[in-house]
């Protein structure tokens, strides 16, 4: 099969981990006789430096013409403590999601058994947890009207959702639930927020089309607590942009580390695949970033955008084998990890490739 992939590595460790993701794509192409061609494009701080814009038009054009996008991360310390900056790296990511109509962010949360001890949650609570988050991506406070009063002392961001936005992500989430354990939890704050009351009503309407799916509604505060108390109770979770942003970072602890979580942003056209972590300035350039979230993003791309289920399983199995062999990056290591099994980003990539060509 021929596929054209745009690699948008972005900033910080995005560059380091995406390089490993691309190596894995190459190895899969070779193993299964596919032809993957690549283009690169700029985003975030790297794009601001080169063009003045966090999302150059060329990046959108190349992305629209591709079969899938492998994305790294955006962000730079320069902007994190400067709320007054008008042009910001994150605008690149929000902009590309909007430009490509990527309204659903899928985040599978599953712990590799080998990493049970890497989480700060008790193993008996974690073992067997397998959650698929659907985070809405193009609405909510991130895109609602915002501003400040003239004196600058009052600021507002508007949480806004329209029926069609809730309907389309709810349908994707219910469809996924039908292929899994047929349980769906919708998370909102309907006891307080009007946009959440619309959200809940629409999800209830869509639910009538899926009588086999057991549906529950949780307030976001309760959901945050239940995720840690009893993660196994969840199968598919569907929620808005802000609540999803926060809950999926929390859920990263179920998977052991931010470095182990991948996501797929999909709409009706080209899909974008990225780790959930950011540009991690604290470890940028040190060669210690965990590349496995990027590699898991590759697995999602193969499965969702290319329909290559066997190839996706091969990637996940290679990760499993490397972890079973005891190899760890710093973020998923523990006191029992021997020094010779503690790997940097490139070394972890090398071990994966050894598994893939075996
Ligand atoms: P972060 O995800 O970059 O890092 C949080 C912590 O997790 C850090 O201690 C980091 O070292 C660690 N970490 C993250 N990924 C790792 C990996 N692959 N391997 C090992 N350790 C890893 O979040 P942050 O520190 O809050 O933000 C840093 C920058 O990234 C900011 O500029 C922020 O705006 C941006 N950001 C971008 C995205 C994105 O591009 N999707 C997401 C979140 C944050």
Does the structure show a pLDDT above 80 at 25?
Answer: yes
The whole-number pLDDT of residue 263 equals 95
Nearest CA to ligand 1 atom 32: 75
DSSP helix/strand/coil, 329: strand
pLDDT in tens, 262-316: 999 999 889 999 998 999 999 999 999 999 999 999 999 999 999 999 999 999 9
Is residue 98 located within the same domain as residue 163? no
189 is catalytic: yes
* Higher pLDDT among residues 256 and 98, named by residue: 98
Q: Is 293 in the pocket of ligand 1 (CB under 6 A)?
A: yes
Amino acid 255: pLDDT = 81
Catalytic site residue from 189, 210, 273, 331: 189
The pLDDT-based confidence of 110 (bands split at 50, 70, 90) is: confident
**Nearest CA owner, ligand 1 atom 8:** 280
C-beta of 289 in contact with ligand 1 (< 6 A) = yes
**Is 114 part of a structural domain of the chain?**
no
Residues 208 and 311 in one domain: no
Do 142 and 247 reside in the same domain of the chain? yes
SS3 9: strand
- If you take atom 11 of ligand 1, which residue's CA is the nearest one? 280
Residue 299: how many other CB atoms lie within 10 Å: 27
Mutate to test the pocket of ligand 1, among 258, 293, 344 (most ligand atoms within 8 A of CB): 258
331 lines ligand 1 (CB under 6 A): yes
Q: Residue 205 domain-assigned?
A: yes
Q: Are residues 311 and 249 in the same domain?
A: no
Residues 245 and 347 in one domain: no
Q: Which pTM was predicted?
A: 0.90
Percent of the chain whose predicted confidence (pLDDT) is above 90: 85
- pLDDT score of 223: 98
Cα of 47 from ligand 1 centre, angstroms: 19
The CA-based angle 346-291-89, given to 5 degrees, is: 115
The answer to which of 23-32, 170-179, 245-254 has the lowest mean pLDDT is: 245-254
One domain for residues 197 and 308? no
Per-residue pLDDT tens for 206-258?
Answer: 999 999 999 999 999 999 999 999 999 999 999 999 999 999 989 888 887 78
Tell how many helices (H) and how many strands (E) occur in the chain. Answer: 13, 14
75 lines ligand 1 (CB under 6 A): yes
Do 219 and 319 sit in the same domain of this protein? no
The CA–CA distances, whole Å, from 125 to 116, 120, 220, 228, 230 equal 10, 11, 20, 8, 6
Decide whether any atom of ligand 1 lies within 6 Å of the 258 Cβ: yes
What strand order describes the sheet that includes 35-40? 35-40, 2-10, 68-73, 271-275, 262-266, 104-110, 130-136, 236-239, 183-188, 214-219
Q: Are residues 210 and 164 in the same domain?
A: yes
pLDDT at position 118 over 80: no
The answer to whether position 42 is within a domain reads yes
Instruction: Say yes or no to pLDDT of 117 above 80.
Output: no
Same domain flag for 137 and 196: yes
Cβ–ligand 1 contact at 250 (below 6 Å) = no
How confident is the model at residue 81, as a pLDDT?
A: 82
Distance 289 CA to ligand 1 centre (A): 10
Residue 47 lies in a domain: yes
The reply to whether 120 falls in a domain is: no
| Contact predicate 236/171, CB 8 Å | no
Among residues 253, 269, 303, the one where a domain terminates is 253
In-domain check, residue 122: no
Stated as kind and residue range, the H or E segment containing 203 is helix 194-207
Q: Ligand 1 pocket check: which of 17, 43, 75 to mutate, most ligand atoms within 8 Å of Cβ?
A: 75
Residue 179's CB is within 10 A of a number of other CB atoms, namely 9
Active-site pick, 110, 249, 320, 350? 249
- Give the lowest-confidence range in 48-57, 112-121, 289-298: 112-121
Query: Does residue 278 sit in the same domain as residue 309?
Result: yes
Is the CB of residue 236 less than 8 Å from the CB of residue 177? Answer: yes
Measured in Å, residue 245 CA sits from the centre of ligand 1 at 13
Is 112 a residue whose pLDDT tops 80?
A: yes
In a domain, residue 29? The reply is yes
Catalytic, out of 142, 161, 210, 273: 142
Beta strands in the chain (DSSP E): 2-10, 35-40, 68-73, 104-110, 130-136, 146-148, 155-157, 183-188, 214-219, 236-239, 262-266, 271-275, 328-329, 342-343
Question: What's 56's domain CATH number?
Answer: 3.40.718.10
Residue 83: its pLDDT value, please? 78
Q: What backbone torsions phi and psi does residue 164 show, to the nearest 5 degrees?
A: -65, -30
Atom 42 of ligand 1: nearest residue by CA position: 278
Q: Is the CB of 259 under 6 A from ligand 1?
A: yes
Q: Which pLDDT score is estimated for 249?
A: 86
Final residue before a domain boundary, out of 207, 228, 253: 253
Band of residue 259 on the pLDDT scale cut at 50, 70, 90: confident
Q: Which atom of ligand 1 is nearest to the CA of 79?
A: 32
pLDDT greater than 90 at residue 202: yes
Q: How many independent structural domains does the chain possess?
A: 2
Whether 189 is covered by a domain: the verdict is yes
- Residue 66 is predicted with a pLDDT of 98
Q: Whose CA is nearest to atom 7 of ligand 1?
A: 258
Q: In whole angstroms, give the CA distance from residue 159 to residue 145.
A: 8
Give me the domain span that covers residue 12: 1-107+258-358
Q: Are 177 and 210 in contact (CB under 8 A)?
A: yes
DSSP 68-131: EEEEEE---HHHHT-TT-SS-HHHHHHHHHHHTT--EEEEEEE--GGGGGGSSS-HHHHTT-EE
Q: What is the pLDDT of residue 254?
A: 85
Average pLDDT, the chain: 95
Whole-angstrom distance, CA of residue 169 vs CA of residue 162: 12
Determine if ligand 1 sits within 6 Å of the CB of residue 277: yes
Q: How far is the CA of 311 from the centre of ligand 1 (A)?
A: 28
Which two tokens mark 148?
């400040």
Q: Which pLDDT band holds residue 84 (cuts at 50, 70, 90)?
A: confident
Does the beta carbon of 279 lie inside 6 Å of ligand 1? yes
């Amino acid at each position: 099969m021929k596929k054209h992939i745009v690699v948008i590595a972005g900033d910080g460790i995005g560059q380091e981990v995406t390089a490993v993701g691309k190596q894995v794509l190459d190895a899969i192409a070779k193993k299964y006789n596919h032809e993957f061609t690549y283009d690169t494009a700029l985003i975030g701080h790297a794009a601001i430096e080169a063009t003045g814009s966090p999302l150059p038009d060329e990046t959108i054009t190349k992305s629209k013409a591709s079969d899938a996008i492998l994305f790294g991360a955006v962000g730079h310390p320069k902007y994190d403590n400067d709320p007054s900056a008008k042009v910001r790296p994150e605008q690149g990511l929000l902009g590309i999601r909007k430009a490509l109509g990527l309204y659903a962010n899928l985040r599978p949360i599953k712990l590799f058994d080998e990493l049970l001890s890497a989480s700060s949650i008790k193993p008996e609570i974690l073992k067997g947890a397998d959650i698929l988050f659907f985070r809405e991506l193009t609405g909510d406070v991130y895109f609602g009207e915002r501003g400040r009063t003239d004196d600058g002392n009052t600021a507002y961001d508007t949480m806004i959702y329209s029926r069609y936005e809730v309907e389309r992500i709810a349908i994707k989430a219910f469809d996924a639930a039908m292929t899994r354990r047929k349980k769906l939890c919708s998370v909102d704050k309907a006891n307080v927020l009007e946009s959440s009351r619309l959200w809940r009503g629409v999800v209830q309407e869509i639910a009538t089309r899926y009588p086999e799916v057991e549906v529950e509604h949780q307030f976001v505060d309760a959901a945050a607590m239940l995720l840690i108390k009893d993660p196994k109770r969840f199968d598919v979770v569907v929620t808005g942009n802000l609540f999803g942003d926060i809950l999926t970072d929390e859920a990263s602890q179920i998977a052991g580390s931010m470095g182990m979580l991948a996501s797929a942003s999909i709409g009706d056209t080209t899909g974008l695949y990225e780790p959930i972590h950011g540009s991690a300035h604290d470890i940028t350039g040190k060669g210690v970033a965990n590349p496995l979230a990027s590699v898991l993003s590759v697995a999602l791309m193969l499965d969702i955008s290319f329909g290559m289920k066997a190839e996706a399983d091969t990637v996940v199995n290679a990760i499993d084998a490397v972890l079973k062999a005891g190899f760890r990056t710093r973020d998923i290591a523990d006191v029992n990890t021997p020094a010779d099994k503690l790997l940097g980003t490139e070394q972890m990539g090398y071990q994966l490739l050894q598994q893939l060509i075996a």
